[in-house]
């Protein structure tokens, strides 16, 4: 089957098998075209609860599929490619959180959504890049232990001088490849451009950007801006998506290295195979895991929605 035939077959199967397809913004455009919803981590979480279908396939990374299962346990949920995992989500486990709690007994533990379902069971509240500021500012607590990404956490902390933050030494290995030198070079090569970056980037990159936001935040900013040129500091799929969606504007990658192999691994063939039951992985969590991991995710939706 060629690409168009495969997409037509996926659209047919979706109806026949009552499947909702969710795609993260970093997925290829050909996956966006067959998805019921495309968005950032926060948008995908909200969509998990809204979907009417009995089955959900996530084109993204595993923690996103786990979040869907936690929020909609009555649905069957699959990750389209079983190898798609976020390396940051593997940086800490539940035991690490319990140990940190001993070191910071009076801190509220705030976890980035890029963590495992098991780890979320031990935290107080979950946040995403687009909702973190709103959620943490609404928390009555003064002391925040932000895990595992000190770059996102540090960016939030700078804007909340009234709170005290502690961090863990984690972070996104892909976004941390972008350097301050890349920003210098981009300013020299494209002096008219706005530089838009994800808060997972290093502090020296974020501090020089014109806009800092989530994947969909970056896209919305670029689409609505009067500017004609943009340098994008996030996974480079966003450069390609924006170039397709805004042909009258020009987009450059801040670094050619910002490519997440896990986010880019899923293909149309994987999605089709998952629908046919020949590949992908069903997310299975015990009722206790779901109940415990849901508490901080519900708090995220309550405070950030």
* Binding stretches for ligand SF4 (CB under 6 A): 61, 86-88, 114, 172-175, 200, 235, 260, 262-263
- Indicate the residue among 45 and 174 with the shorter CB distance to ligand SF4: 174
Closest CA to 78 of 266, 214, 295: 266
Residue 148: cis peptide before it, omega within 30 degrees of 0? yes
Query: Does the protein bind ligand 13P through residue 41 (CB under 6 A)?
Result: yes
Q: Select the binding partner of residue 40 from ligand SF4, ligand 13P, none (C-beta < 5 to 8 A, by kind).
A: ligand 13P
Residue 101, token pair as written in the block: 């709690």
Tell me the H-state helices in 114-208: 117-120, 132-138, 150-158, 180-189, 203-206
Nearest to 57 by CA among 240, 293, 266: 266
Is 22 in contact with 58 (CB distance < 8 Å)? yes
**Which CB, 107 or 167, lies closer to ligand 13P?**
167
Least Cβ distance, residue 265 to ligand 13P (angstroms): 14
- Total H helices, total E strands in the chain: 14, 13
Q: Which is nearer to ligand SF4, 175 or 299 (CB)?
A: 175
Indicate which single residue of 47, 67, 81, 128 sits in contact with ligand 13P (rule: CB under 6 A): 128
Q: Which stretch binds ligand 13P (CB under 6 A): 68-76, 128-136, 137-145, 289-297?
A: 128-136
Q: Helix crossing, 287-304 with 62-71: angle to 10°?
A: 90
> Rounded to the nearest whole angstrom, what is the least distance from the CB of residue 42 to ligand 13P in the complex?
6
In the bound state with ligand 13P, the residue whose beta carbon lies nearer, of 275 and 297, is 297
Within 95-124, the residues that bind ligand 13P by CB under 6 A are: 114
In angstroms, give the least distance from the CB of 285 to ligand 13P.
Answer: 20
Count CB-CB contacts under 10 A for residue 254.
27
| Buried b / exposed e along 218-248 (16+ C-beta atoms within 10 A) | bbebbeeeeeeebbbbbbbbbbebbeeebee
Binding track, positions 73-92, relative to ligand 13P; x by CB under 6 A = -------------x------
Nearest distance from C-beta of residue 131 to ligand 13P, angstroms: 8
* Per-position x/- string for 176-215, each x denoting binding to ligand 13P as judged by CB under 6 A, each - no binding: ----------------------x-x-------------xx
Query: Least distance in Å: CB of 165 to ligand 13P?
Result: 19
One of 91, 108, 116, 129 touching ligand 13P (CB under 6 A): 129
For the bound state, the minimum distance from the C-beta of residue 174 to ligand 13P, rounded and expressed in Å, comes to: 7
C-beta pairs of 135-144 under 8 Å, 24+ apart in sequence: 135/110, 135/299, 135/300, 135/303, 135/304, 136/110, 136/160, 136/163, 138/303, 139/108, 139/110, 139/303, 141/107, 141/108, 143/104, 143/106, 143/107, 143/108, 144/107, 144/108, 144/110
Q: Which entry of ligand 13P, ligand SF4, none binds 129, CB below 5 to 8 A by partner kind? A: ligand 13P
Residue 94, Cα to own-chain centre: how many angstroms?
20
Q: Which residue has the tokens 């980037």?
A: 201
Return residues touching ligand 13P (CB under 6 A).
25, 40-41, 86, 114, 128-130, 172, 198, 200, 214-215
């Amino acid at each position: 089957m060629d690409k168009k035939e495969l997409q037509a077959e996926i659209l047919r199967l979706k109806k026949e098998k009552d499947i909702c397809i969710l795609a993260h913004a970093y997925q290829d455009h050909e996956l966006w075209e067959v998805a019921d919803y495309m968005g950032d981590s926060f948008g995908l979480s909200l969509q998990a609860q809204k979907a009417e279908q009995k089955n959900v396939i996530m084109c993204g990374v595993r923690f996103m599929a786990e979040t869907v299962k936690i929020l909609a346990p009555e649905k069957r949920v699959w990750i389209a490619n079983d190898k798609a995992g976020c390396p940051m989500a593997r940086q800490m486990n539940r035991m690490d959180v319990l140990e940190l709690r001993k070191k910071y007994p009076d801190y509220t533990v705030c976890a980035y959504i890029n963590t495992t379902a098991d780890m979320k069971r031990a935290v107080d509240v979950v946040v995403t890049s687009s909702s973190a500021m709103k959620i943490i500012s609404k928390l009555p607590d003064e002391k925040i232990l932000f895990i595992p990404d000190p770059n996102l956490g540090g960016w939030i902390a700078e804007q909340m001088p009234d709170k005290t933050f502690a961090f863990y030494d984690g972070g996104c290995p892909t976004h941390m490849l972008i350097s301050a030198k890349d920003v210098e070079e981009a300013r020299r090569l494209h002096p008219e451009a706005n530089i838009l970056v994800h808060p997972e980037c290093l502090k020296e990159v974020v501090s020089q950007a014109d806009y800092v936001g989530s994947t969909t935040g970056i896209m919305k900013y670029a689409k609505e801006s009067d500017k004609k040129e943009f340098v994008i500091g996030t996974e480079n799929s966003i450069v390609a998506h924006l170039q397709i969606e805004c042909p009258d504007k020009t987009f450059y990658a801040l670094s050619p290295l910002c490519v997440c192999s896990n986010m880019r691994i899923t293909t149309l063939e994987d999605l089709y195979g998952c629908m046919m039951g020949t590949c992908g992985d069903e997310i299975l969590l015990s009722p206790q895991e779901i109940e415990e991991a849901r508490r901080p995710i519900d708090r995220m939706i309550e405070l950030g929605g």
